[in-house]
């Protein structure tokens, strides 16, 4: 299963040694290019690799129209050659992907209809926030999870409201929801260059481990 497929994801996936044909499902949180652009490359790669099963594509309510446009305007030669089952996700949908239960909620990303997800297997879980400003719904989805993968787009300061999350805001989410570990993603260069300060701000009142996501990072839950 893939959660978001922005630019470079297919390249990194191949670097891990994973067989792309093993992918069953792709979840796209929203249709901004940095979250979905490599789906096109993956789609073609699956066809060229002899992919012989159905790919389940989940996304926001407009995912049907988006996928239809890919087939009609960009990749007409792929149409029908890779079976894709498209499922639009409502705000509080729960879907089953093999043994995994995936629960979603609406994230808070300006006017964009975006989804955060919680992936559960027996007593273990992780949450992926996607792009979001501080959100009560995402916080509730996070409560008690093993791992929270949360965006931290900018440093504390004055920014447009309701779009992204800053360290002090994420600290309050972590204090309330109490995940066991936090990985930061969707990072601006300013956040990356302030790694120690950002991690300290987010985890200072809880002692919860906070780290920045890195390409090819592997975590066991």
Question: Where does the pLDDT of residue 38 fall: very low under 50, low under 70, confident under 90, or very high at 90 and above?
Answer: very high
Residue 35 pLDDT greater than 90, yes or no:
yes
The pLDDT of 122-136, averaged and rounded, is: 97
State mean pLDDT over 35-53.
92
Question: What residue spans define the domains of the chain?
Answer: 1-88, 90-215
84-88: strand order across its sheet: 2-3, 25-27, 55-59, 84-88
pLDDT at 79: 83
In this predicted structure, the answer to whether residue 101 has a pLDDT above a threshold of 90 is: yes
pLDDT (mean) for 28-33: 97
- Helical axes 167-177 vs 195-203, angle rounded to 10°: 40
Residue 75 above 90 pLDDT?
A: no
The closest alpha carbon to 151, from 137, 135, 138, 132, belongs to: 132
Mean pLDDT of 67-82: 88
Determine the pLDDT at residue 7: 94
Query: pLDDT grade, residue 73 (50/70/90)?
Result: confident
Separation CA 144–CA 126 (nearest Å): 9
60 φ/ψ angles, rounded to the nearest 5 degrees: -65, 175
Rounded distance between C-alpha atoms, residue 139 and residue 148, angstroms? 10
pLDDT above 90 covers what percent of the chain?
90
Q: Rounded distance, CA 210 to CA 119, Å?
A: 20
Tell me the pTM: 0.94
Domain boundaries 90-215, CATH class: alpha beta
pLDDT band at residue 81 using 50, 70 and 90 as cut-offs: confident
Q: Indicate the average pLDDT of the chain.
A: 95
Question: Residue 210: which H helix or E strand, with range?
Answer: strand 209-212
Distance CA 194, CA 70 (A): 39
Query: 52 versus 35: which is more confidently predicted?
Result: 35
Assess whether pLDDT exceeds 90 at residue 52: no
């Amino acid at each position: 299963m893939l959660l978001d497929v922005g630019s470079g994801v297919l390249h990194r996936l191949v670097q891990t040694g994973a067989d792309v044909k093993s992918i069953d499902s792709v979840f796209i949180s929203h249709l901004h290019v940095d979250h979905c652009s490599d789906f096109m490359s993956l789609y073609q790669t699956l066809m060229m690799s002899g992919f012989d099963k159905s790919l389940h594509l989940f996304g926001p309510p407009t995912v049907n129209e988006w996928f239809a446009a890919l087939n009609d305007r960009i990749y007409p030669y792929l149409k029908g050659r890779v079976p894709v089952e498209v499922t639009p996700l409502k705000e509080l949908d729960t879907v089953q992907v093999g043994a995994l239960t995936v629960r979603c909620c609406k994230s808070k990303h300006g006017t964009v209809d975006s989804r955060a997800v919680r992936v559960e297997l027996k007593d273990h879980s992780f949450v992926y926030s996607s792009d979001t400003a501080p959100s009560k719904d995402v916080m509730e989805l996070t409560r008690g999870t093993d791992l929270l993968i949360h965006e931290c787009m900018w440093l504390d300061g004055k920014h447009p409201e309701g779009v992204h999350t800053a360290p002090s805001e994420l600290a309050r989410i972590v204090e309330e929801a109490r995940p066991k570990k936090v990985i930061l993603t969707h990072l601006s260069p300013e956040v990356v260059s302030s790694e120690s300060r950002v991690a300290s701000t987010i985890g200072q009142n809880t002692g919860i481990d906070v780290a920045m996501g890195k390409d090819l990072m592997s975590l066991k839950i």
